[in-house]
Each structure stands twice: as C-alpha cells, then as structure tokens.
Amino acid sequence: MKNISTEYKEVKKSDEHYINEIIEAVNILDFYSMKIAIREAINMRIPMVDIIKKGVLVGLEESGEMGLILAAEALDGEIISIDEEEQKRLAKSQNYSGKVVIGTIRGDIHSLGKNIAGIIMKSYGMDVIDLGVDVEPKKFEEFAHLPEVKVIGISFLLSAAEPRIKEVMSLLKTGELKNKVKVILGGAAVSQEIAEETNADAYATDALHGVDIIEKWLKTKIF
C-alpha cells in the first residue's frame, strides 16, 4: 500500500510530465501539440498559473515572437472551451476586493495579448470582465461606474488609436471616477512616454508585469 507522501510525489511527477510537454510543444512551435498539452494539463487539474508560468512562459524563452502568438492562440482556444466554474477551480484561491475590466481600445481589433492578460488575471483568482475588442471609450466609462470595479486594463497595439486612449483617460480621470478606478495600459503600442502622455496610472511591459501591478493595487486597497 502506498503512503501519502509517495502518492504526493507521484502526482507531482505527473504534473511535471504535463508541464514538460507544454514546454516542448512551445519550444518547437507546434501549435496542435501546444493545444493538446495544455488541454491535458487542464484535465489533470494543474493550476492555471503553473500551466502558464512553469509551462508556456518557460517554453517561450526559446521560441520568440512566433511562439508567443501561437501559444496565446492555443491557450486562448483551450481556456475558452472550459466553463467559468472550472476556471475558478483551476485558479489560485485569493480574495481580492474589486473587479478588473479589460478591453482593447476602439479602432484596434488585436485580441491575443488582452486575452492572455485576462487568462493570467483569472489564474490569479481575479474577477475579470472582458469587454472584447474595439471598445468605445464611453463603454469603459460605463463599466468604471459599477460599484465593484476598481481597475480598468486597456490593451493598445495600434499607435493610431492613441487619441482614443486619451479620450478614455479624460472620462476616467475626472469627477467621481478620478479616485475610484486605476487604469493600466498594455500591448505593443505602450511605453513609459505614452503612459505619461495619456495620464494612465501604469503600463505593463507584459501580462505578468501587469498582473503584479494590479495585484498590489487590489491588495493594498488604496481606493
């Protein structure tokens, strides 16, 4: 008969096996193997944060931008197919007070980075409302008024959409919303300069960086 510690080691060993399959698939840029490996890891109930941090992100160290695009598609496709309850079970159990609203700015239809950021936020146990792509500035404002919303995360890949970012910021940084919500920008068009020009509270160099910033905001309850 196995004792508990042996069983525990066996579970850990098999987790590692599934994580290695993800790393390997991302390394060799094999999209279908990525999907299968991610799906198997999900079926094994491996926490989402481990699938991403120990699997996908480690694999990406070798495979560059094409790997990022493929892995983002693969993750996105697999996560979307599991229901909200299961997603919550796979997330870190954290108690954050406040919801995060994300969306890609009006005029911009790039979705992969925003989706990955959303998946990582959910894997941390954050409550996320995803408004999709091509989101009107007014819509961000409308959601910012919801009592539980504390953070607005805007994805922004097309430089031409900068005036829309300024429009959102002028709606969110005035009146009662000024001290109610924090705004973080993410995506390829974002830089320190853009964050300063638009008056955003922060910008993310990548999704994990963004989630760290949001986690600090939600934990320190500075609202």
The answer to whether residue 55 forms part of the interface with ligand B12 (CB under 6 A) is no
The answer to whether residue 137 forms part of the interface with ligand B12 (CB under 6 A) is no
Instruction: Rule CB under 6 A: choose which of 22, 168, 189, 195 binds ligand B12.
Output: 189
- In this chain, which stretch among 8-16, 33-41, 66-74, 166-174 interacts with ligand B12, using CB under 6 A? 66-74
Residue closer to ligand B12 by CB (options 15, 57) is: 57
The answer to whether residue 38 forms part of the interface with ligand B12 (CB under 6 A) is no
Residue closer to ligand B12 by CB (options 41, 135) is: 135
Q: What are the CA-CA distances from residue 180 to residues 18, 36, 102, 146, 176 (Å)?
A: 42, 42, 16, 10, 7
- Which has the closest alpha carbon to 118: 30, 180, 166, 187? 187
Instruction: Rule CB under 6 A: choose which of 11, 80, 146, 188 binds ligand B12.
Output: 188
Site map (CB under 6 A) of ligand B12, residues 144-173, x = contact: ---------x-x-xxxx-------------
Asked whether the CA dihedral 70, 47, 215, 63 is positive or negative, the reply is negative
- Which has the closest alpha carbon to 117: 8, 200, 203, 23? 203
Angle at 175 between CA 160 and CA 142, to 5 degrees: 60
Q: How many residues does the chain have?
A: 223
Is 43 within 8 Å of 86 (Cβ atoms)?
Answer: no
Instruction: Rule CB under 6 A: choose which of 112, 126, 168, 183 binds ligand B12.
Output: 112
In the complex, which residues of this chain contact ligand B12 (CB under 6 A)? 68-69, 72, 102, 107-114, 116-117, 153, 155, 157-160, 184, 186-189, 204, 206-207, 210
